[in-house]
Structure 1
Amino acid sequence: MRAAQITSFGAPDVLRITETERPSPGAGEVLVSVEASSINGHDTIIRSGGVKMVSGRTFPIGTGLDFAGVVVTTGPDVESYRAGDRVWGMVHPRKRHTVAGAAEYVVVPVGRISPAPAGVSAIEATSLVVTGSTALIALRDRVRLAEGERVLVRGAAGGVGTAAVQLAQAMGGHVTALARDRHAADLHDLGADKVLDYGTTAAEKTGPFDVILDTVGSELHRYRSRLAKGGRMVTVGLSAAALAAIAASSIHGSRRIRTFSANPDSAALDELADHVTAGALRPVVHRVYPLADIVTAHEAFERGGVLGKHVLAVSC
């Protein structure tokens, strides 16, 4: 089978499409024929060598955090799925994988998949797995968004941002999206009540907000100052500067900056699918690439500046 793998740490050109043996599911696992995967920040960090404690230093390393596809066969004791079931899910973000989501087949535990939402293609579904679950967990669990609260989504045009705008609106928030001005009409269409151009709007000119969801990871202290009394802030855009700001916020003042790594289980994916089925969350796909063009897809992801997700068509 074909699989995208990292052959050394570095720029996107260290990625290769290789021929490798198709894996077999063990107890509590399923084998999925992957139709689509997508590019996420986790993939580029692993590829660049940014988290060697997770990835290890032995090559090749599999890439592709998420996937959507069809169950081919199940391991012993699996009764909840059968061959032919359409599923979506993600590999464990904190474990090393020789083969991951960007491959023709992947083996995963049943606790890491869920029935794919009806009415969307595999391309569309996989664009929502990581982004949607990250936004859902951030808003529902980390900041506990309440109806009527004022929400700022920073980096609103990205994958997590477009999902967060929609989910915050569905939860009853009053949503302000901060993004490039050229994306304003699309973000209003996704549910943003107000869109600010990040190129011309200083942090000090925004807010106050009850909740800030940041996907950028810079200038966190400036945006933290725009929180109302009792306000909460969460960031998924980690950097050295972001980690310093998070640490400082836990010492000075009550408005602490939170962070986390999304690691959804089947229940979270089920809830995400409910939002999709209800029409509260829809996919935003910028461009689809064949698996063979994964280097180009990584390059495009790192350039940024687009609306939505870069998705890999694997076998669909």
Structure 2
Amino acid sequence: MKTAQITSFGPPEVLRVTETERPSPGAGEVLVAVEASSVNGHDTIVRSGGLKMVSGRKFPLGVGLDFAGAVVAVGPGVEGYRAGDRVWGMVHPRQRHTTAAAAEYVVVPAARLGLAPAGVPAVEAASLVVAGSTALIALRDSVGLGEGERVLVRGAAGGVGTAAVQLAHAMGGHVTALARDRHAAVLRDLGADAVLDYGTTTSDAIGPFDVIVDTVGSELHCYRGRLGKGGRMVTVGLSAPALAAIAASAIHGSRRIRTFSANPDSAVLSDLAGFVTSGALRPTVHSVYPLADIAAAHEAFERGGVMGKHVLAITG
């Protein structure tokens, strides 16, 4: 099978698409024919060497977290899935993989798999797995967004940001999106009640908010200061400065900066599918690349400034 692998730590050019043996599912595992996989920040951080403590230094390394496709076979003890089922899921982000989701086939534990929302093409479904589950966990589980609360989504044009805008709107929040002005019309269509231009708006000119969802990872202490009484902030944009700001914010109790590792299980994926099926969550795909052009997809991701997700079309 064809699979994308990291051959050394470095820029996108270290990515190679090679032929490897198709894996077989073990006990509790499912073999999926991957049709699409999206590009996520985790992929580029691993590729550049930012997670050596987790990935190790032995090459090759598989790349790609999320996927959408069809079940090929199930291992012993697996119930609820059979060959041909349309599924989506995610490989474990903290385990080392020589092949991962950016491949023609992937093996994952059944607990990391869910039935994909019916009628949604694989490219669109794959764009929502990491982005949508991250936004859902952030809003529902991390900060407990309540109906009528004022929400700021920082970095609202990205994959997690567009999902957060939609889910916050669906949960009854009053949503302010912070993004480039050129994305304002689309963000309003996705459910934002207000859109602020990231290029001209400073943190001290906005707020207060009940909830802030940050996807950028910089200036966290400034934005934390825009929380109202009882406000909560969560960031998914992790960096060394961000980790320092998170640690320093612990003294602020409920107004501390929270973070988490998005690691969705079948229950989260099922809940996410419900939002998609109801129409509350729509995919936002910026561009689609064939697997052979994964290096170009990584380059485009790192340039930023786009609306939505970069997705790899593995088959078709």
TM-score, length basis structure 2: 0.99
Write the deviation string for residues 178-199 of structure 1: whole angstroms up to 9, x where unpaired: 0000000000000000000011
Verify the 8 A CA contact 2:27 2:78 in the aligned structure 1.
Answer: yes
CA shift at 1:251, angstroms?
Answer: 2.6
Name the CA shift for 1:29/1:253 in 2 (closer, same or farther; >3 Å).
closer
Q: In the alignment, residue 32 of structure 2 is paired with which amino acid?
A: V
Q: Percent identity?
A: 81
- Which structure 2 segments of 5+ residues have no match? none
Which stretches of structure 1, 4 residues or more, deviate above 2 A after TM superposition?
A: 251-254
Instruction: Give the count of matched residue pairs.
Output: 316
What is aligned with 1:281? Answer: 281
What is aligned with 1:48? Answer: 48
- Which structure 1 segments of 5+ residues have no match? none
Verify the 8 A CA contact 2:232 2:254 in the aligned structure 1.
Answer: no
CA shift at 1:153, angstroms?
Answer: 0.1
**1:101 is the counterpart of 2:101:** yes
CA shift at 1:254, angstroms?
Answer: 4.9
What is aligned with 1:89? Answer: 89
**1:209 is the counterpart of 2:228:** no
Write the deviation string for residues 149-182 of structure 1: whole angstroms up to 9, x where unpaired: 0000000000000000000000000000000000
CA shift at 1:56, angstroms?
Answer: 1.0
TM-score, length basis structure 1: 0.99
SS at match of 1:234: strand
Name the CA shift for 1:253/1:107 in 2 (closer, same or farther; >3 Å).
closer
Q: In the alignment, residue 19 of structure 2 is paired with which amino acid?
A: E
Question: What is the rounded CA distance, in whole Å, between the counterparts of 1:252 and 1:281 in structure 2?
Answer: 33
> After alignment, is 79-88 or 184-193 more displaced?
79-88
Question: What is the rounded CA distance, in whole Å, between the counterparts of 2:135 and 2:254 in structure 1?
Answer: 23
CA shift at 1:79, angstroms?
Answer: 2.3
Write the deviation string for residues 77-109 of structure 1: whole angstroms up to 9, x where unpaired: 222111101100000011111110000000001
Alignment of 1:28-39 (within 5 A): 28-39=28-39
CA shift at 1:253, angstroms?
Answer: 6.0
SS at match of 2:292: helix
SS at match of 2:16: strand
SS at match of 1:64: coil
Question: What is the rounded CA distance, in whole Å, between the counterparts of 2:8 and 2:315 in structure 1?
Answer: 26
> After alignment, is 190-199 or 46-55 more displaced?
46-55
CA shift at 1:261, angstroms?
Answer: 1.1
Q: In the alignment, residue 311 of structure 1 is paired with which amino acid?
A: V
CA shift at 1:315, angstroms?
Answer: 1.0
Question: What is the rounded CA distance, in whole Å, between the counterparts of 1:254 and 1:288 in structure 2?
Answer: 40
**1:257 is the counterpart of 2:260:** no
Write the deviation string for residues 264-290 of structure 1: whole angstroms up to 9, x where unpaired: 000000000000000000000000000
Q: In the alignment, residue 243 of structure 1 is paired with which amino acid?
A: L
SS at match of 2:81: coil
CA shift at 1:25, angstroms?
Answer: 0.3
SS at match of 1:32: strand
Question: What is the rounded CA distance, in whole Å, between the counterparts of 1:243 and 1:6 in structure 2?
Answer: 26
SS at match of 2:164: helix
SS at match of 2:289: strand
Q: In the alignment, residue 222 of structure 2 is paired with which amino acid?
A: R
Question: What is the rounded CA distance, in whole Å, between the counterparts of 1:90 and 1:269 in structure 2?
Answer: 10
Write the deviation string for residues 181-236 of structure 1: whole angstroms up to 9, x where unpaired: 00000000000000000110110111100000000000011111100000000000
